[in-house]
Structures are given as C-alpha cells and as structure tokens.
Amino acid sequence: MTDPTMSQESSPPPPVRDRKRDAKLVLSGVAAVLLIWFAIANLQDVPIHFWVTSTRSPLIVVVVISGFLGAMIVLLAQALRRRRGGRGGDDGYTGGGGTGYGSTGM
C-alpha cells in the first residue's frame, strides 16, 4: 500500500535565493563599471621618475601597478603574521575595548 499523502513524483523544492551571493554579484558589477570608468578617465600620460631614469606611462597603468604592489605587501604581511602564530603579537594586548586609561582600577 502506498501513502496517499506522498505523491509518486516528488518535485524538487523551489530554489532558495542566496541574498549574500546576489549582493556580492551586484557589488562586483558596480565595482567593475567604476573601474572601467576610472580607467577611461585616466588615460593621459604622466612622467614616472625612478632613481636613475625617467619615463612616461598612462596614469591608469601607474595606478594599477601601485595597487598590485600594495596588495602584494598586504598579502606578505598577512602571511608573515600567520607564520608567527596568529593575529596577536607578543605585546600582551588582548584586543579589549576602552581607552586604556583607568584600567588598573586605581
């Protein structure tokens, strides 16, 4: 005997919208549009002075290379911090709130 409340063909549940994923997708699209607009607005050549030589390059190239180098520095700092064993250093700071004044209770 079959249970009359159970149908022979069960349909899959309706898809659930992932709001976080949707928000990230929209923000990524907005960021891409802003980045393209910024690149188009900064196509003029600018002088770049190194220690021994100078050259000219489009401003957007300078900005992208600088951003890339900054990101590499951040990633290197994070890797070094993880290698040392976490976020906290050896200074005894525990990350508590407050201003630090009057914490001894005196």
Q: Is residue 54 part of a domain?
A: yes
* pTM, rounded to two decimals: 0.48
Q: Is residue 72 part of a domain?
A: yes
Domain count, the chain: 1
Given a contact cutoff of 8 angstroms between Cβ atoms, the answer to whether 44 and 57 are in contact is no
First vs last C-alpha separation in the chain: 80
Q: What pLDDT, on the 0 to 100 scale, is given for residue 35?
A: 82
Q: Is residue 28 part of a domain?
A: yes
47-103 tens-digit pLDDT: 998 889 999 999 988 888 888 898 899 999 999 998 887 655 555 555 555 555 555
Q: Is residue 98 part of a domain?
A: no
Domain that holds residue 75: 19-84
Q: Is residue 60 part of a domain?
A: yes
pLDDT band per the 50, 70, 90 thresholds, residue 12: confident
Q: Is residue 90 part of a domain?
A: no
